Structures are given as structure tokens and as C-alpha cells.
């Protein structure tokens, strides 16, 4: 019998900020998206005040100030590092785990049924909080879908104390009846609208529908979800995830760019970040797509959007080759006197070096050569961007607006917290 536990970090971005600023505990807090655009994370106290997810900051700025809400810019370096720490801790409690997102992880607890799973997961929860400072909720079920439902209810229920075990539970039917059909994992907006029109409003209603009707209306994917609700595990644990097919690095600029050199600076750094990523994954790229565009929301300027794909042959993860291809793409897409608001690159056709195309002139792909390795090692040790190709310093005119960003407490030597 399969048993899954879904561990979900509570209000993850807000929790990360509170670790190094304890004064923010039990106070309303929101985190903004790139360029301080809109609300992407809220503490429970901010949710209680009725601040909606995705709220545009410029519209809610005065309300947030009046209600005493702390506003912070997103600090992805900090969140990513703390996520890695949480996932490392979780992996120590079971041989098989799957990192589902930056703040979610599935654990395979099959074979642990001789234990009191609620007590075991309470111990996991306590260890994660003690060792990382991040509070988590845990849902347990015979399938991934049921563990998702259990986790969602564990977050809402004070009685559950952050843990809900629906494995062979007499409360399973009640839990499904309390779960709206649109909250079921895998049921999107279009499907939920159709199901509600047929009188299927809860996860329990969906579980009780016949296989033939589900297959006809929702296809094989929908039938798989129903089987999961019935306790039959159809979605396996991906403890060895498939290689990435693409890697994208893009940014919206704090201020629109009009000159070529500023765009070149941005594209150069994006290429640097992307090539470093695929070297970390042990992959090589067969192409690079470069794209630049104006803001579609600013109707007072000339609209322009252009992208181009440049082939990489032989396939490579060499940072010099990817830089040259990226700038070649920029040269072909750039137009003067345009206010560019966003740009990025997409590395495509990613593949393992052993599977790369070989011919007489290129018997081996350019794979993690010694110069690239040294380049990565130095930047990893002393901070990203310490050494860069072609320029010692790059202008920061294109950097995103982050007026409320906290220090990168765990990823930069000069921003480490000091105990006094």
C-alpha cells in the first residue's frame, strides 16, 4: 500500500523574511513581485485584513500603510537557499522524496505504516522548524491527490495542529465533502465549471461519479484524478525527475531601456545565468532564443516585440559560445528609439552530452570545459557576477525596482546577519 505525505511550507516567502526579522512575527506582512508590482505572498495576518493575492501595489499602497502592513520586495536568493535547506532536511526522513515546488515536497512513507504517522510527521514538522525556522503543514494519504487535500485541510484546522492523516481514516469522506471540486489537484477552472454545472461540487461528488462518465467528459487525465480520490495511486513519485528541456532567464526592467548597451548588459548577464544553470544540470544546449519587448500596458508608446532563435552547433554549455550567440540574437532583434520593458533568453534543445549529435568535424559537444568550470567556481564562492565576460562592471540601469528588499542573509558574505 502506498502512503504519501505532502509537506508544504506555510506562507513561505513571509516565513523566510521572519527568520531574520523576528519583530515581524504575528504582524501583517506582504511580499511584492518583480519591480514591486503586485502582492505575491501574504502572512496570515495580512490575509485576515482582506488583502487579495495579486493586488497591484500602486493601488493598495495607501491602504497597506494605513493598516500597518509591512511591505517587502521579493528576495529570491534568500528564498531559494532556504528552500534547499528545507528540502535537504526532509530528504533525511525517507529514502524517496520529490521536490514539487520551491515550498512543497512529497515524501514516500510506504512501509512506514507500522508507525503512528501523525506522531512521525509531527516530529518531522518540529525538526524542520528547529533546523530551518520554517513552519510547515503536512497532509498524509494513500495517493498524492489525497495528501494534497489533507494538507490543505491541515492548514485550515486548528485542531489538526498542522498534521492531517487521511490514510485509512474514518474522516476521509468528511474531508472530501469539505473540499470544493475546484480545489482538487488537477481540476482546472474549465473542468470545475463544467462539473459544477452537472451538480458535482465537492471532491466527494467527483469520487462517486462513474468511470465511463468521467472518461467521456474529462478523458484519461480526469479518470486518473478520480482513481486517486478513490485511493488508487496513479501518480508516481518522481524521485528522479526528467531532464529539463529548456531554461529561461528573463526580467522586466525597473525603468524602460532605449539604448543598445543597456540591453546588451542585461542579455549578457541572462546568458551567463542560463549557461551556468545548464552546466549545473550537466546538459548542453542546441539553440538560444533571444526576445525583447515593450510594455503591452503602455499604449502611449510604440509597441514592439521581437524574438529570434540562434542555433548552437555543436551543442554546448560553454559560456563564451552562448554569450556570442545571445549577442548575435540581440543584434538581429534590436531597434533604436524603442522603450524596452522586458527581455530574456531561452536555451532550447537541452540534452545530455553523450546524446548530442556528433559528426566528423565536431565529435564531442562543448561540455563544461575547464574555463567554464573555473568561472562557475569563482562566482559561486565569491558571489554571482564577480567575474563576467568582456566587462568588469556592468551598468545597473536595467535592474528591477526593489525598494523594500531585505539583505540576502545566507548567500552573500557582506550581508550575513550579525549577532550583537
Q: Which residues are the active-site residues? A: 104
Who's near 65: CB < 8 A, 6+ residues apart? none
The torsion defined by the Cα of 144, 145, 150 and 152, in degrees rounded to 10, comes to 110
Give the three-class secondary structure for 146: helix
CB atoms within 10 A of CB 389: 15
Nine-digit cell string for 336: 533604436
The conformational region for residue 7 under phi > 0 = left, psi -120 to 50 = alpha, else beta, is beta
Residue pair 366/318 in contact by the 8 Å Cβ criterion:
yes
Residue pair 16/31 in contact by the 8 Å Cβ criterion:
no
The half-sphere exposure of 309 on its side-chain side, counting CA atoms within 13 A, is 9
Who's near 314: CB < 8 A, 6+ residues apart? 356, 357, 358, 362, 364, 365, 366
Query: Which position has the grid cell 549577532?
Result: 419
Amino acid at each position: 500500500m502506498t502512503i504519501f505525505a505532502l509537506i508544504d511550507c506555510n506562507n513561505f516567502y513571509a516565513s523566510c523574511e521572519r527568520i531574520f526579522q523576528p519583530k515581524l512575527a504575528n504582524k501583517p506582512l506582504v511580499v511584492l513581485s518583480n519591480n514591486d508590482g503586485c502582492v505575491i505572498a501574504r502572512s496570515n495576518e495580512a490575509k485576515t485584513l482582506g488583502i487579495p493575492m495579486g493586488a497591484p501595489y500602486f493601488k493598495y499602497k495607501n491602504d497597506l500603510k494605513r493598516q500597518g502592513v509591512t511591505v517587502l520586495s521579493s528576495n529570491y536568493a534568500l528564498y531559494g537557499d532556504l528552500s534547499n535547506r528545507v528540502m535537504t532536511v526532509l530528504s533525511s526522513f525517507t529514502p524517496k522524496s520529490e521536490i514539487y515546488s520551491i515550498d512543497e515536497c512529497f515524501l514516500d512513507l510506504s512501509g512506514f505504516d507500522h508507525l503512528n504517522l501523525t506522531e512521525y510527521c509531527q516530529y518531522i514538522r518540529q525538526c524542520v522548524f528547529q533546523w530551518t525556522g520554517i513552519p510547515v503543514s503536512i497532509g498524509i494519504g494513500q495517493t498524492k491527490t489525497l495528501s494534497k487535500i489533507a494538507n490543505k485541510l491541515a492548514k485550515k484546522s486548528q485542531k489538526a495542529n498542522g498534521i492531517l492523516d487521511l490514510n485509512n481514516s474514518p474522516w476521509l469522506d468528511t474531508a472530501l465533502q469539505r473540499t470544493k471540486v475546484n480545489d482538487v489537484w488537477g481540476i482546472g477552472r474549465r473542468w470545475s465549471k463544467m462539473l459544477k454545472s452537472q451538480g458535482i461540487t465537492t471532491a466527494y461528488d467527483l469520487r462517486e461519479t462513474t468511470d465511463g462518465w468521467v472518461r467521456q467528459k474529462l478523458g484519461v487525465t480526469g479518470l486518473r484524478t478520480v482513481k486517486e480520490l478513490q485511493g488508487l495511486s496513479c501518480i508516481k513519485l518522481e524521485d528522479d525527475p526528467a531532464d529539463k528541456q529548456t531554461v529561461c532567464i528573463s526580467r522586466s526592467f525597473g525603468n524602460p531601456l532605449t539604448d543598445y548597451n543597456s540591453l546588451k548588459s542585461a542579455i549578457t548577464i541572462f546568458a551567463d545565468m542560463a549557461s551556468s544553470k545548464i552546466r549545473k544540470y550537466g546538459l548542453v544546449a542546441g539553440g538560444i532564443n533571444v526576445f525583447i519587448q515593450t510594455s503591452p500596458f503602455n499604449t502611449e508608446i510604440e509597441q514592439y516585440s521581437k524574438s529570434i532563435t540562434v542555433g548552437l552547433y555543436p551543442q554546448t554549455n560553454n559560456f563564451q559560445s552562448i554569450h556570442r550567440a545571445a549577442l548575435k540574437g540581440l543584434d538581429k532583434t534590436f531597434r533604436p528609439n524603442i522603450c524596452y520593458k522586458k527581455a530574456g533568453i531561452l536555451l532550447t534543445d537541452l540534452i545530455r552530452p553523450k546524446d548530442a549529435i556528433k559528426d566528423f568535424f565536431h565529435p564531442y559537444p562543448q561540455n563544461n570545459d575547464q574555463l567554464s568550470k573555473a568561472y562557475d567556481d569563482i562566482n559561486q564562492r565569491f558571489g554571482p557576477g564577480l567575474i563576467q565576460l568582456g566587462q568588469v562592471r556592468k551598468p545597473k540601469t536595467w535592474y528591477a525596482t526593489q525598494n523594500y528588499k531585505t539583505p540576502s542573509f545566507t548567500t552573500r558574505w557582506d550581508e550575513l546577519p550579525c549577532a550583537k
